[in-house]
Amino acid sequence: MDSYLIHVNGHGDHAPMLDVNLKNTGNIISPGKVKSRKPRWAVRASEMSKKTFNPVRAIVDSMKVEPNPKKAMISLSLGDPTVFGNLPTNDEVTRAVKEVLDSGQYNGYAPSVGYQSCREAVATYYNCPEAPLKAQDVILTSGCSQAIELALAVLANPGQNILVPRPGFSLYKTLALSMGIEVKLYNLLPEKAWEIDLEHLESLVDEKTACLIVNNPSNPCGSVFSKSHLQEILAVASRQCLPILADEIYGDMVFADCKYEPIATLSTNVPILSCGGLAKRWLVPGWRMGWILIHDRRDIFGKEVEIEMEHFPEFENDVEFTERLISEQSVFCLPATCFEYPNFFRVVITVPEEMILEACGRIQEFCEMHYQGADGAQDLECDK
């Protein structure tokens, strides 16, 4: 990034701000003594800002492509369930917030960790015998994003490294790199329903590893880990003495055929910071309400889907694939390069039903047009 050097004196119509006339200041400062160096603006971008990089923006903003004018654009890229009004939050939630506003009692500065009554409410909701929680174990934050940022800041120093899932949510890397923390990507295995490649995970651990990030249920994979897999992950963390940063913002919103287990309920010794929030579960991402649940019984601390994209030799990579999908079908999906997982793309399925059906139809048409199977046959199988 460029740094900025702004010359103030001698340009423009304004009186030069820093060229102060000292003649009338009497004998306090002699004009002769301040002549030596003319101050100049030299506001440079900080090291941190130069290290802050959002891959989604970088990839998406560089996609210069126009949708097919014959088809209305459908965007399956941004995971915001409020865009179409088809997924409103619960009335009770809206009422609760209205009551708080009407009371006029919560317009002041809250304690930096959140109001006690609110921390108690969150603790009561998540408390269970396997993972007991009290109000003091809850830190309220500005969205789950800030929860992750705080947890990272607490767990890792610059020069240390953290273990991050691939494919995975891009915020982990963006935050870590801006803080001077190195990122090591561990693989998720598509053939095992996106479970963690535990051998690969453990092979990445070194003396500088500060924590393991586990995102369950997963964005972008949509996977939900079984109890036994979570126990295997905890066994690695325990063996390597690694605290876990658990991003569990999609907890409590899994389909009926699987069960979500908070990882802290399965741990007896591994310290866990569980990050969550209202955004996804209650469909209110603009409300910026998140939390960290501190699970440290041993006092050790001080909807989305992915589709495979092989057999499309026409396209150099997933960015090109998604660009062509826009220009031909006006369907906008995120290239999974945004999630450190090239050759896939991610679709958001919170758009209204008729829209997702239309989009799926178009994606199918696009795939049938461009697919080249091993024997060149158009034998594409689609799960509808």
Ligand X SMILES: *Cc1c(COP(=O)(O)O)cnc(C)c1O
- What separation in angstroms does the CA of 158 have from each of 72, 115, 172, 262, 351? 47, 31, 14, 29, 40
Mark the segment that binds ligand X (CB under 6 A) among 138-146, 206-214, 310-318, 362-370. Answer: 138-146
Strand partners, 187: 166
3-state secondary structure of 375: coil
The distance of closest approach from Cβ of residue 27 to ligand X in the complex, given in angstroms and rounded to an integer, is 58
The least CB distance from residue 220 to ligand X, in Å, is 8
**Shortest reach from residue 10's CB to ligand X, in Å:** 46
Nearer to ligand X among residue 145 and residue 209 (C-beta): 145
Under the binding rule (CB under 6 A), the answer on residue 145 touching ligand X is: yes
Report the residue number, 249 or 309, with the smaller CB distance to ligand X. Answer: 249
| Residue 249 contacts ligand X per CB under 6 A | yes
What would the two tokens of residue 261 be? 């287990």
Q: Residue 319's Cα: distance from chain center in Å?
A: 20
Contact residues for 152 (Cβ-Cβ < 8 A; gap 6+)? 162, 172, 175, 176, 179, 181, 211, 245
Task: Answer yes or no whether residue 219 interacts with ligand X by CB under 6 A.
Answer: yes
Q: How far is CA 9 from CA 17, 19, 134, 188, 362, in A?
A: 7, 7, 59, 57, 59
Q: Determine the Cα–Cα distance for residues 306 and 341; give it in Å rounded to an integer.
A: 10
| Residue 218 CB, nearest approach to ligand X (Å) | 7
Q: Prior bond to 165 cis, omega within 30?
A: no
Least Cβ distance, residue 58 to ligand X (angstroms): 19
Nearest Cα residue to 310 out of 357, 358, 333, 343: 343
Answer for which of 160, 215, 223, 330 binds ligand X (CB under 6 A) is: 215
143 versus 271: smaller Cβ distance to ligand X? 143
**Per-residue x/- marks for ligand X, 263-302, CB under 6 A?**
--------------x-xx----x----x------------
Q: How many residues bind ligand X (CB under 6 A)?
A: 13
| Shortest distance, position 30 Cβ to ligand X, whole Å | 56
Nearest residue to ligand X by CB is 143
Total residues belonging to the chain: 384
Task: 312-315: list long-range contacts, CB under 8 Å, 24+ apart.
Answer: 312/367, 312/370, 312/371, 312/372, 313/372, 314/370, 314/372, 315/370
Nearer to ligand X, 230 or 367 (CB): 230
What is the smallest separation between the CB atom of 144 and ligand X, expressed in angstroms? 3
Question: In the set 137, 195, 247, 318, which binds ligand X (CB under 6 A)?
Answer: 247
Establish if 169 lies at the interface with ligand X (CB under 6 A): yes
| Tokens linked to 173 | 């890397």
Distance from C-alpha of 368 to C-alpha of 371, rounded to nearest angstrom: 5
Binding residue (CB under 6 A) for ligand X from 76, 138, 139, 144: 144
Choose between 145 and 330: whose C-beta lies nearer to ligand X.
Answer: 145
Given the complex with ligand X, which of 248 and 323 has the nearer CB atom? 248
Strands (E), 123-243: 138-142, 161-166, 182-189, 195-196, 209-215
- Contact residues for ligand X (CB under 6 A)? 143-145, 169, 215, 219, 247, 249, 277, 279-280, 285, 290
